Structure 1
Amino acid sequence: MSDQDFKEKVVNIISNHKTGILASVENNKPHSRYMTFYNEDLTLYSPTKKDTEKMDEIENNPYVSVLLGYEEKGQSDAYVEILGTSSINDTEALKNQFWEESFNKWFEGPNDPNYVLLKIQPETVRILNLTGEPPQEFSLKN
């Protein structure tokens, strides 16, 4: 599979699966939780509160793993594993871009100072469970 074909498959999966699992590191052990993800190309963004334990975990260790896909047909669904680094993004433009009215349960609006986006910059991307194909991996590290 060409790099361009690989990228297109990944972007298709992550664009069509907004709910996934984010794993960070807490006390040298994995800590996983479901999150909502948005993407710009291969970069992921996840809305969160600034005052959560995941923010402390990421400040101590920015490496994260994200799983997206594998929702509809179970064992036959392709899914994506993204290993990368995470940082906080609180730019007004991105907060407005990804804001949804459903966030009103947690925030007072897109200008709420506790509303931030977790930015996940991929280093390694894998597609797994492609029908009849072995896992495909792509490295984005320099």
Structure 2
Amino acid sequence: MSKDLKEKVINIISEHKIGVLSSVENNKPHTRYMTFYNNNLTLYTPTKKDTEKIEEIEKNPAVSVLLGYEENGLNDAYVEITGVASLNDSQQLKKQYWDESFNTWFEGPEDPNYVFLQIQPETVRILNTTGEPPQELTLGD
């Protein structure tokens, strides 16, 4: 994997916390906006444990994430990530990423319904970089 390409991906992910998560429901895409946190290309997104997205991921852990492309759109680089999602209810993670705005949905970082989807990327593509074709990182293997 190209170190420069990985750095470009990390920069885009770090600058854009809000993105689109697509999971599979009844063999069709199910898409919603989520907030993402990055740790060396592993993504974490907070959610309620009792939501349909958790059920969808338990049935089929394949997901897709789009991050970036928020300004004018014409020349904004963005990333398209395909990977595998799993549930992570680590108390350390819940405290690390806790934000007071979460009080709308959760009673605090100890709330048992407050969990994260952990997304382990398999493929990351950078698209819409000025004058350049899409670039792809393959992870894992």
Shorter-chain TM-score category?
over 0.9
Q: How many residues are treated as equivalent by the alignment? A: 141
Matched residue, 1:140? 139
Q: Do structure 1's residue 47 and structure 2's residue 84 form an aligned pair?
A: no
Identity fraction in percent: 72
Which digits, 9 at most, give the CA deviation of each residue in 1:56-81, with x for residues without a partner? 00000000000000001212100000
Q: Do structure 1's residue 97 and structure 2's residue 93 form an aligned pair?
A: no
RMSD: 0.8
Give the distance between the partners of 2:50 and 2:99, measured in 1 at CA. 20
Matched residue, 2:84? 85
Structure 1 segments of 4+ aligned residues over 2 angstroms from their partners: none
SS in 2 for 1:74: coil
Amino acid paired to 1:52: T
Matched residue, 2:4? 5
With structure 2 as the length reference, what TM-score do the two structures score?
0.98
> Which sections of structure 1, spanning at least 5 residues, go unmatched?
none
SS in 2 for 1:51: coil
Matched residue, 1:115? 114
Give the distance between the partners of 2:2 and 2:81, measured in 1 at CA. 16
Which digits, 9 at most, give the CA deviation of each residue in 1:55-113, with x for residues without a partner? 00000000000000000121210000000000010011001001000000000000000
Matched residue, 2:70? 71
Give the distance between the partners of 1:19 and 1:75, measured in 2 at CA. 19
